[in-house]
Amino acid sequence: MSERRIPIIPTIVVAAAIATMIGLGIWQLGRLDEKEAMLARFEAAAGNPQRLSQFPQDPLANLYRRTPFDCEEAGEWNAISGRNNRDQAGYVQIVSCPGADVVLGWSPGPDRVEWQGGELTGTIAPGGEAGFRVVADPPLAGLQPNATPDPATTPNNHLAYAGQWFFFAFTALVIYILALRRRWR
């Protein structure tokens, strides 16, 4: 019968890979708690209106708040795919303003709308050059209402990611054990 020796270098490499994958799984579990806390902040902010000029530096602290906003000068225009308040696909019309991008409203086509700027009320949503944008409510420039920004649409996949890393670690261990068994035959 041949001697069953465990190869040192491959075992160290596999053990390091498994330890790394387990560490990444544990890290994702920590991110799960952080994401749940962030979503709770978003939910609390949704009911707390505040003027944009009063916001702290952290844009995440501002998301989903209702706010009045003054677009002193409408700048660059853009239309991107989006949904209206009846969940129909179309285009959201966006204008750059000093301090934030403004989503004027929804239209079925990407045709440019004219809006010169001014005062509006809206909800702060993720996106835009500054990390957030103001979604006008009511819509402007004769457009239809956008889908209301909702913190519930923010994904929280960290538990699934943790499970994947733990599964990868287990799979690596099983494959290595099978490789050793084959070598010992």
For 76-92, write each residue's pLDDT tens digit: 999 999 999 898 999 99
Whether 134 and 74 map to the same domain: the answer is: yes
Q: Which tokens belong to 6?
A: 């465990």
Task: Calculate what percentage of the chain has a pLDDT beyond 70.
Answer: 91
Maximum distance among all alpha carbons in the chain? 87
**Structural domain span for residue 97:** 65-148
Compute the distance between CA of residue 69 and CA of residue 28 in angstroms, rounded to an integer.
Answer: 37
Compute the distance between CA of residue 6 and CA of residue 27 in angstroms, rounded to an integer.
Answer: 30
Whether 139 and 162 map to the same domain: the answer is: no
Whether 72 and 57 map to the same domain: the answer is: no
Number of structural domains the chain divides into? 2
Environment class of residue 126 by beta-carbon count within 10 Å: exposed (0-12), middle (13-18) or buried (19+)?
middle
Whether 4 and 27 map to the same domain: the answer is: yes
Compute the distance between CA of residue 14 and CA of residue 172 in angstroms, rounded to an integer.
Answer: 7
Mean model confidence pLDDT for the chain: 88
Whether 46 and 10 map to the same domain: the answer is: yes
Whether 144 and 87 map to the same domain: the answer is: yes
